Structure 1
Amino acid sequence: MKSLLQEMKETFGKNDDFFILKEHFVNAPVVLLGFRSLIDLPKTLNSIQKSIESIFLTDKTFDQLMHWIGEVKVNDTKEALSAIIEGKLVILLQNENDRKYVIVEPISQILNRSIESPTNENVLQGPLSSFNEDINTNIGILRKHTISDSLQIRAYSVGTNRKKKLSVLYFENNANMNLVKKIINHIESNLEKELNNVQDLSKMMGFSSWLAVNKFNTTELPQEASKFLVMGRIIMFVDRIPFALVLPGLFWDMFAIDNDRNYPVPLMFVIRSLRIIGYLMTLILPGLYVALVAVNPEVLRIELALSIAQSRDGVPYPALVEMILMLVILELIMEASVRLPKSIGPTLTMVGGIIIGQAVVDAKLVSNLLIIVLAATTIANSTVVGFQNSLSTRLFKYIIAILASIFGILGIMGGLVLICTYFAGITTFGVPYLYFNMKKDEI
């Protein structure tokens, strides 16, 4: 039977940052194993020596001493390998047939960002801290915002080749325990699956990969995550993903955030009403332009109809082709603004949008009115809460535009009914997507 040290050498020996260090603790020979890239070795050794010196003064035996500085294991090779991969220090006791070891929580290398202001969700009045890539930091931030003894945390290690930490948080007094059990059962039955992104987590939860709506509501704001916990939702953190995943995600989440409550009630209602209007404008405006120009111009006042006809004088394409062409160009500009460096992205996309918009109008490829409609649609699309929600809205407006080109105003109404029907059919562990608020005992 191979010794534990030999198995460690065979597994990690080809890694240049893997260290095998021989030491003596209280005149007993030990071997330290770990990764230099994850462990601050000098500080860790200094901390262990101080702990041993202070504990040894109480006349503890060497075996008792090891229990004080870490978790003692015997013959569990798999757990030792997993501990090293996770960045822990393994102390191998050579006087116990080379099969006894101690897992110690070391002083880690500083590999994480500090707590910074949110980058994707702007806060005008409210806490400016945001989640980062370290799962323990995120849980600590959330505990600061939810000082309560009812907060429960379940932690898991997911994956076989690449281990990822996953934590589930909920309020025991607020959350529906049937929902919590369903989520935990799905996780525990899929612990061997790899978890690298939200799509992998959706598959683990049993969600369809072809949904146009994300069943997870995401936020990088601890204040928002705390509000969801109080409302009975379940929060999930995945290590190296710098935002909280909220289950179940509901339709109303794209219009209301907890930061709205820092304003007077009338202003709060006005802000949320503007978001609803912006959502409807995003869906309806492109289709309305196509319907009024190509199918139902008779519903317009004669002055407006003549003005639109004059603006489209010389345009060679039908209204639908004109609309989709400009929408695709606009989508490309928006995607480029995300990918380009922050120093040049806004300038380049703004100049590009102005030049392209002016050029296509001068070339009589599109009408002036279409540029106005597209600008209003883009601005309205940005009013909803959450970038993932704006993405699904951008997809649905194409469906309404195509139906409007066939059936006119009736097609717009049919498209809205179709989208509402689609939303009504979405459930997350028995919770309908169109719930305004999830009650504890309704599942």
Structure 2
Amino acid sequence: MTFIIKQLFSKKSEDQSDVVKEFVEDVTDEKAIFSEVDKNRKVIEDIFGESIDFSMSEILFSERKGFIIYFSSMTNSERVLQQLKPSLSQLHHEHEKIESLDNLKAIRDSFFSDHRTDLVQTFHECVWHALNGAVVLFLEGFAHALVIEVGGLEHRSISEPSTQTIIRGPKDAFVESLDINLSLIRRRVKNPRLTFRQYIVGSESRTAVVIGYIDGLTNPGIVKEVEERIEKIDIYAILDSGNVEEMISDSAYTPFPLIFNTERPDSIAANLMEGKVAILVDGSPFALLVPCVFTDFFQATEDYYQPYFMSSFIRLVRYSSFMISLVLPSLYVALTTYHVELFPTTLLISIQSQREGVPFPAVVEILAMELTFEVLREAGIRMPRAVGQTVSIVGALVIGQAAVEAGLVSNVLVIIVAFTAISSFVSPIYNFSISTRLLRFVLIIGASIMGLYAVLLLLVVMVVHLTSLRSFGVSYLTPVAPLTLGDQDDVFVRFPVWANKKKPSYLKQVRNDKMVKSVKPSPPSSEGDQT
């Protein structure tokens, strides 16, 4: 499996047939359909003939030979057998001759009005529609093919989000079907200016990538930049939105995510109305949002469904948890190794008494425990759900307790590692917490070499690195650095909805107003006043 994936993302194969190259690699080549049905059959067989899920059926239609093609893996075969073929048989008996293209169009409009249909003139279009689950009909004497969409196979039903769960708010999440994902967004943003544009990416996979934005609101410069980056993607296959994210990011040399990803339609809808651009990939339940800034990863959609006092408090907890998970282990190493005088005497005696008999220095202890926890975390994720959580929790308890009783680590170290791990789970976006986990090890090693000086120096380097990052032309630390006072109403705390009247200015939207008219709610001035 690993070899196959590497081949998809590496150099191109040299032994492909010319026919496959014509219709897969070169999307601009549009070879016209022949009027002779036998020639058309030969071309189609050269492309798909050896695939086990490819179906080709001969038909006789109004004294004309023909055939239909479809993929059983992409098309509902029962509908083809129960609806389409009987309709074609009925047409054969009721219509003696089809002498012109107008006759064919009239039959299409009358007999296939329940299906989406199209007349195409090139093999490229035929192949594309077949690969997307349609049935294609070829007839003798016509240099056109009739495309009939009968419906695809069943897909995963809409369920609750698995990685971005909330207590209050919508419970639906994106699925692997692009059409369903678009409908989940359209259901929330019933705006005629909501625009979706499709691009085909991947010379082998031919994956549909859609960008969405609100025309007349979103900055046209951002839309153009997104389009140009997607058009420049030159890769064999797109298997998930993560592949697109890696190909269009501003920088590849940073542990911080420069593109926001979510499986929640309400999050996409809210950000679209802020002026951002959404990117959806067929086959992926995660959508992307650009541009994004550092503070976006501390905001959750539930913040806007709860009272603003509670939302502000929880958001401050997230910022505090980020700093705790980042620096707490390194602070422990620095203080116990170089700066013991900073501890209160009582606390110092307690810590040193627990460390009595431990054969390793603090840095070895904490690196061993952190690595152990990372192993348990990955084991819990990769194992079956029925036992994964049990393995991670029980494993941590058993190993931690056994390590303390064996005198390999101290009790206070187990507390620090556990609290650090819990703090890292507070982040609402999973891939942002990964960057914290990586930087934590860097800070621990630095603290073991130079103590608090190294911790402070590395934090300064991290901030400088953050200020240098850009996400589609937007500074990553905006609106904190550079400081924009007008955008502070939804950064560290959330202002009330009625007080939040402007969209983020760093997006440079065409329209910056969020609410046309909003006033602070208050009771009526008198009993008779109900306005």
TM-score, length basis structure 2? 0.77
Q: Deviations over 1:65-105 (max 9, x none)?
A: 3664522222x222222222222211112222xx4312222
Quick one: which amino acid aligns to residue 21 of structure 1?
Answer: S
Shift of 1:208: 3.9
Structure 1 pair 66–93 and aligned structure 2 pair: CA distance change class (3 A): farther
What is the Cα deviation at residue 189 of structure 1? Answer: 3.2
| Residue 67 (structure 2) pairs with residue 22 (structure 1) | no
Are residues 367 and 192 of structure 1, via their aligned partners in 2, closer, same or farther at CA, if it must alter by over 3 Å?
A: closer
Q: How does 1:303-342 map to 2 (within 5 A)?
A: 303-342=346-385
Between the aligned partners of 1:198 and 1:37, the Cα distance in structure 2 is 23
Alignment pair present for 1:429 and 2:456:
no
Q: Which residue of 2 aligns with 1:215?
A: 258
**Structure 2 Cα separation of the partners of residues 189 and 79 of structure 1:** 23
Q: Partner letter of residue 71 of structure 1?
A: D
Q: Could you tell me how far 1:29 is from its partner in structure 2?
A: 3.5
Q: Which residue, 115, 138, 148 being the options, matches 1:92?
A: 138
1:72 to 115, 119, 127: 119
Shift of 1:289: 0.5
Amino acid at match of 2:119: V
**2:505, 2:272 → 1: CA distance?**
11
Q: Percent identity among equivalent residues?
A: 27
User: 1:22 Cα deviation (Å)?
Assistant: 2.0
Aligned residues: 437
- Cα contact 1:236–1:244 (8 A) shared by 2: yes
Alpha carbons of structure 1 residues 104 and 209: separation in structure 2 relative to 1, 3 Å: farther
Aligned to 1:187: 230
How far off its partner does 1:45 sit?
Answer: 5.8
2:525 equivalent in structure 1:
none
Unaligned runs of 5+ in 2: 1-33, 480-503, 511-531
CA distance in structure 2 between the aligned counterparts of 1:203 and 1:35, rounded to whole angstroms: 32
Equivalent pair of 2:249/2:471 in contact (CA under 8 Å): no
Task: Report the 3-state secondary structure (helix = DSSP H, G, I; strand = E; otherwise coil) of the residue aligned with 2:212.
Answer: strand
Report whether the alignment pairs 1:114 with 2:157.
yes
Q: Counterpart of 2:56 in structure 1: which amino acid?
A: I
Q: Letter of the aligned partner of 2:136 in structure 1?
A: V
* CA spacing shift, 1:191–1:89, aligned 2, 3 Å: farther
* Aligned counterpart, 1:363: 406
- 2-structure distance, mates of 1:399, 1:268: 32
Between 1:255-264 and 1:201-210, the stretch displaced more is 201-210
**Letter paired with 2:135:** L
Distance 1:208 1:178, change over 3 A: same
Q: Is the 8 A contact 1:231 1:438 kept in 2?
A: no
Q: Could you tell me the TM-score, scaled by structure 1's length?
A: 0.92
- Matched residue SS, 1:170: strand
Aligned-partner Cα distance in 1 for 2:509–2:340: 48
Provide the rounded CA distance (Å) in 1 between the counterparts of 2:230 and 2:391: 44
3-state SS, counterpart of residue 285 of structure 2: coil
Q: 1:123 to 1:81 in 2, by over 3 A?
A: same
| AA at the equivalent of 1:80 | C
**For the Cα contact (< 8 Å) 2:169–2:302, is it kept in 1?**
yes
Q: CA deviation at 1:203?
A: 4.8
Write the distance in 2 (CA, Å) between the matches of 1:213 and 1:25: 61
CA distance in 2, matches of 1:138, 1:67: 30
Counterpart CA distance in 2 for 1:129 and 1:172 is 26
- In 1, distance between residues paired with 2:509 and 2:79? 52
How many angstroms apart in 2 are the aligned matches of 1:418 and 1:131? 37
Distance in 1 (CA, whole Å) between partners of 2:285 and 2:53 is 26
- CA shift digits 1:6-55 (9 cap, x unpaired): 1111221112221111224455443110111221234246555669989x
Aligned equivalent of 1:63: 104
- Shifted more, 243-252 versus 175-184: the winner is 243-252
SS in 1 for 2:428: coil
Q: Which residue of 2 aligns with 1:168?
A: 211
The RMSD of aligned alpha carbons is 2.5
Query: What is the 5 A alignment of 1:392-403?
Result: 392-403=435-446
CA 1:170–1:23 in structure 2 vs 1: closer, same or farther (change >3 Å)? same
CA displacement at 1:349 relative to structure 2: 1.7
* 1:9 and 2:45 aligned: yes
CA-to-partner distance for each residue in 1:156-179, whole Å, 9 max, x for gaps? 121222111110001123311101
Q: What are the superposed Cα offsets for residues 354-382 of structure 1, whole Å, 9 maximum, x if unpaired?
A: 11001111111111110000111011111
Aligned-partner Cα distance in 2 for 1:219–1:314 = 48
What SS class does the counterpart of residue 167 from structure 2 fall into?
Answer: coil
